[in-house]
C-alpha cells in the first residue's frame, strides 16, 4: 500500500528503514513531544520490527508510514485506531526530519493520511493532538481542515516527567467531504 501526493510517497515502514528513521527520531528537540522510541538505535530497530509486524496483523490498529520525498525518508506518520474500542475514529500523528521542515511536507503527508483514515479505515472522525509549544503541528491540523476542540488538555512525557498543555483537534467525515467538495469545485 502506498499513498501518493504531489511531492510525497507514504508507504508502510519496512525492515531496512531503521537508520533513516533513527536519524529523525533521534532529534531530541522535537521527539520529546512525540512518543517514538528514540534513545538508541536498538529502540528504533525494535519500533520498526513492531510496526512491520503490525502491518501483517489481522487485527491491525496502528498504520505506521514513512514519508518519502525524492526517494529519501524524510519523516513518518501514523493513523491509529488503538484509542477507539469500536474503531469509529482514528488519531493521526506525524514527524518530519528537521532539515525538511517549513516546506509544507507535514501538511501534505497529514492530508494524505487523513484521506486514508476516512476512505480506507472507514472512520467517522479523526483526531490529532499536539503540545501547546508546537505551533507548527497545530498549523498543520488547521491546514488539513481540523478544528481545535480542546485547548485545556495536558500531557506528561514519560522520559522527562514534564507536563505540558495539549491541543486536541478534530474533523468529522461530513466536514472532510464538504472540504473536498469545495476544493474540487475550484
Task: Write the pLDDT tens digit of every residue in 125-183.
Answer: 999 999 998 899 999 999 999 999 999 999 888 777 889 899 999 999 999 999 888 77
Confidence band (pLDDT; 50, 70, 90) for 84? confident
How confident is the model at residue 61, as a pLDDT?
94
Show the DSSP H helices in the chain as ranges.
18-25, 28-31, 41-56, 105-119, 135-143, 173-185
Percentage of the chain beyond pLDDT 70 is 92
In whole angstroms, give the CA distance from residue 126 to residue 10: 18
How confident is the model at residue 162, as a pLDDT?
86
Q: For the chain, what are the domain ranges?
A: 3-185
Helix (H, G, I), strand (E, B) or coil at 1: coil
Distance of CA 94 to the CA centre of its chain: 3
Q: Let me know if domain 3-185 sits in CATH 3.40.630.30.
A: yes
Nearest one of 103, 179, 102, 168 to 138, comparing CA atoms? 168
Residue 133: exposure state from Cβ atoms within 10 A (0-12, 13-18, ≥19)? exposed
Task: Write the pLDDT tens digit of every residue in 8-37.
Answer: 999 999 999 999 998 888 776 665 555 665
Amino acid at each position: 500500500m502506498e499513498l501518493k501526493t504531489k511531492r510525497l510517497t507514504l508507504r508502510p515502514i519496512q525492515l531496512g528503514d531503521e537508520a533513516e528513521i533513527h536519524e529523525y527520531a533521534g532529534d531530541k528537540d522535537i521527539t520529546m513531544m512525540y512518543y517514538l522510541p528514540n534513545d538508541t538505535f536498538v529502540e528504533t530497530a525494535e519500533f520498526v520490527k513492531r510496526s512491520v509486524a503490525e502491518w501483517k496483523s489481522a487485527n491491525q490498529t496502528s498504520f505506521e508510514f514513512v514519508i518519502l520525498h525524492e526517494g529519501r525518508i524524510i519523516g513518518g506518520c501514523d493513523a491509529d485506531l488503538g484509542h477507539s474500542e469500536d474503531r469509529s475514529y482514528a488519531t493521526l500523528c506525524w514527524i518530519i526530519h528537521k532539515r525538511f521542515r517549513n516546506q509544507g511536507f507535514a501538511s501534505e503527508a497529514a492530508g494524505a493520511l487523513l484521506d486514508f483514515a476516512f476512505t480506507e479505515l472507514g472512520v467517522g472522525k479523526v483526531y490529532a493532538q499536539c503540545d501547546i509549544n508546537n505551533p507548527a503541528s497545530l498549523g498543520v491540523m488547521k491546514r488539513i481542515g481540523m478544528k481545535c476542540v480542546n485547548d485545556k488538555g495536558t500531557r506528561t512525557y514519560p522520559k522527562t516527567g514534564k507536563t505540558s498543555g495539549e491541543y486536541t483537534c478534530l474533523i468529522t467525515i461530513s466536514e472532510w467531504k464538504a472540504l473536498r467538495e469545495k476544493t474540487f469545485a475550484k
